[in-house]
């Protein structure tokens, strides 16, 4: 299937204290030698279904997949609830909603930098039929990511996936080595946008609202 793409408005770092904090977090990961585009970890996952075929034209890190008819669906995304042991979270729990899927780890500086931005957009858009679903990766013990959620006031749920096994739902070509990254799924749970970088609310919210408004 031929796909058409448009680059999302850039998320430059200079100009505001918030952007400076995001830059500082990125640099801290670079010093540790743990970033590719942001922080890197693990191997790419194996596809487990769905029709989404990730493509990043020219190595772009912010991509829109348009028109909607050309979007692919991800596979069966499911896993254990980070905050509620024994409870399962699945993409199917959010039927008919736009879903913002964020891959994060408490060990990742840029993830800390974007946490309040994600929460801000979630609070601003949840009444428009938008859900957020985190996927916590590479945290072998639950207590540290649980503390992250509490300390940063994150109110949307996350799947606990230390082995990154659930990310097979994103397809074999999705660069799961890049943390943080974010996918925006439309109401049919087709991939409408991908960000392979930390996000600011001013960059994310307009795109989420536009996708939520699609007929």
Task: Express each pLDDT in 27-81 by its tens digit.
Answer: 444 333 333 344 544 333 333 569 999 988 888 999 999 999 999 999 999 999 9
Look at residue 7 and tell me whether its pLDDT is greater than 80. no
Share of the chain above pLDDT 70, in %: 77
Q: Round to the nearest angstrom and report the end-to-end CA distance of the chain.
A: 22
Alpha-helical (H) ranges within the chain are 17-32, 109-125, 143-151, 201-212
Right CATH for 4-212 from 3.40.50.2300, 3.40.50.300, 3.20.20.80, 3.40.30.10:
3.40.30.10
All structural domains of the chain with their residue ranges: 4-212
Q: Which two tokens stand for residue 160?
A: 């606990």
Q: Strand runs (DSSP E) across the chain, as ranges?
A: 4-7, 39-40, 62-66, 78-81, 88-90, 98-104, 130-137, 158-161, 178-179, 181-185, 191-195
């Amino acid at each position: 299937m031929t796909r058409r793409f448009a680059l999302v408005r850039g998320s430059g770092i200079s100009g505001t204290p918030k952007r400076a904090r995001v830059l500082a977090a990125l640099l801290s990961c670079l010093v540790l030698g743990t970033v590719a585009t942001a922080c890197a970890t693990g191997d790419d996952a194996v596809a487990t279904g769905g029709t989404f075929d990730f493509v990043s034209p020219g190595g772009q890190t912010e991509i829109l997949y348009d028109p909607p008819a050309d979007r692919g669906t991800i596979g069966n995304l499911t896993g254990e609830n980070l905050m509620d042991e024994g409870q399962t979270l699945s993409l199917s729990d959010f039927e008919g909603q736009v879903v913002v899927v964020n891959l994060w780890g408490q060990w990742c500086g840029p993830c800390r930098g974007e946490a309040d931005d994600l929460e801000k957009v979630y609070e601003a858009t949840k009444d428009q039929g938008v859900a957020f679903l985190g996927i916590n990766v590479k945290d072998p013990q639950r207590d540290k990511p649980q503390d992250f959620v509490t300390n940063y006031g994150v109110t949307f749920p996350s799947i606990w996936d230390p082995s990154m096994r659930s990310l097979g739902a994103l397809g074999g070509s999705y660069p799961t080595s890049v943390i943080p990254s974010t996918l925006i799924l439309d109401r049919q749970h087709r991939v409408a946008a991908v960000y392979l970088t930390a996000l600011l609310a001013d960059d994310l919210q307009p795109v989420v609202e536009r996708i939520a408004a699609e007929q």
